[in-house]
Amino acid sequence: MPPFLPQAEPMNSAGASPLTLPPPSASGPSLSPRRGKQSRAPTHLSLGRGRNREAIPGEGAAPAPPVTHDQAPLPHLPVFLTVRGRLCVLVGGSDAAVPKFELLRRAGAAVRLVGADPAFAETAAGAEILPGPLTAAHLAGACLVIDASGEPDTNARSATLARAAGVPLNVVDRPALCDFILPAILDRSPVVVAVSTGGAAPALAGLIRQELEALIPPGLGRLAALSGMLRDEIRRITDPSRRLAFWRRLYRDGAADRVAALDLLDQVAAERPSAGALTRITIGPGGEQDLTLRQVAALRRADLLLVEDGVDPAVLDHARRDAPRRGLVRTPAEAAALRHELDRGLQVVQLVAEDSQSLVPRLAAE
């Protein structure tokens, strides 16, 4: 099975540069924000951007208010909705209705077809067939409605009735009338990948899905199902970094069955944690556009991010969502806490902004 997580690569000065944490001393020097210098600057900033925010634990480390970066608004909230056993209304019987019906059927919905043409209605096994046009009574008890009629008047009627009933509506090829959209999906159940362009370019979403099909093999679904069986066993590894090491090994190397997965779990539990690494990435004026492939790989591996204020927020999108975001190390206590994280085997990435104007006050504070 091809790897699903980026493999370790040596970093060099042209890309991301590995840093060495200085040895502890009586004065407890902190990790310099840049060029290996010691710092006595104020306490760190906790950066979250709406994600998992934590302060570095350590003696005397006073938590600072979280600082968030501006980011572009999402056109839609990405959600996966449970419709199994629930009523979903499908309006119309055009060619566009067929894939919508199949999608609802596979998700276990109780489908009510309104105004479907006879040929389509005959093939819609298990659906409730009702004549059109759509009325308020048709929407009673429905959790959503999809209008695939392709008729402007019917679309407008569906929008009026759905709004009045408070039922979320999707109108095929009419994003302005939609409360939700149906993305292109790659089904490797229980792994399901959804790709959306916000309704702007459905064909592009389909092309992206086709590219992903080549990257995500069918066997990944079996591994995901196997992972669900191991939830109780994995709890005996109390160190989160060791748990992550197990999941990485499982998804990278695969396992034939539960017994093989448990053998791998025993191996990981018995191993000494590998040495952690601290990697510095300097973000240039181009922000995300200046990232190299090695730097992106380092971000994806990171268990913890140390982020300087002013770093392009888009850079953080390349890191795992569950990797905590924290400010640069500023105090001896924070340096000691970071050393503990590295001793546990965590991969830490420090992101600094290439900004000569911000360098002057920072060095002056040191």
Model confidence pLDDT, tens digit, residues 199-229: 788 889 889 988 888 888 777 787 778 777 7
pLDDT on residue 151: 94
CB 282 within 8 A of CB 352: yes
Q: Which residues pair with 353 in a beta bridge?
A: 283
Q: Which residues pair with 183 in a beta bridge?
A: none
pLDDT on residue 164: 97
CA neighbor of 287 nearest in space, from 296, 300, 298, 277: 296
- State yes or no: pLDDT of 39 exceeds 50: no
Indicate whether 158 belongs to any domain.
yes
What whole-number distance in Å separates Cα of residue 312 and Cα of residue 286?
9
- State yes or no: pLDDT of 129 exceeds 60: yes
pLDDT digits (tens, 9 = 90+) for 280-302: 999 988 888 888 888 998 998 89
CA neighbor of 346 nearest in space, from 249, 244, 235, 269: 244
The β-bridge relationship of strands 277-283 and 347-353 is parallel
Query: pLDDT-based confidence at 178, cuts 50/70/90?
Result: very high
Do residues 21 and 43 both lie within one domain?
yes
Indicate whether 1 belongs to any domain.
no
Indicate whether 281 belongs to any domain.
yes
For the record, the structure tokens of 334 come out as 């924070």
Indicate whether 232 belongs to any domain.
yes
Sequence-distant (≥ 6) Cβ neighbours of residue 79 within 8 angstroms: none
For the record, the structure tokens of 237 come out as 């590894």
How many residues make up the chain in this entry? 366
pLDDT on residue 246: 78
Of 257-266, 301-310, 337-346, which range is least confident? 257-266
- State yes or no: pLDDT of 80 exceeds 90: yes
Q: Which residues pair with 352 in a beta bridge?
A: 282
Residue 246: which domain range? 219-270
Indicate whether 124 belongs to any domain.
yes
Helices and strands per DSSP (H, E), number in the chain: 12, 14
For the chain, the domain total comes to 3
Question: Is-above-0.95 flag for pTM?
Answer: no
For the record, the structure tokens of 289 come out as 């556009």
Mean pLDDT of 83-103: 92
CB 197 within 8 A of CB 205: yes
Of 71-75, 186-190, 206-210, which range is least confident? 71-75
Higher confidence at residue 20 or residue 42? Answer: 20
Query: pLDDT-based confidence at 274, cuts 50/70/90?
Result: low
Do residues 336 and 353 both lie within one domain?
yes
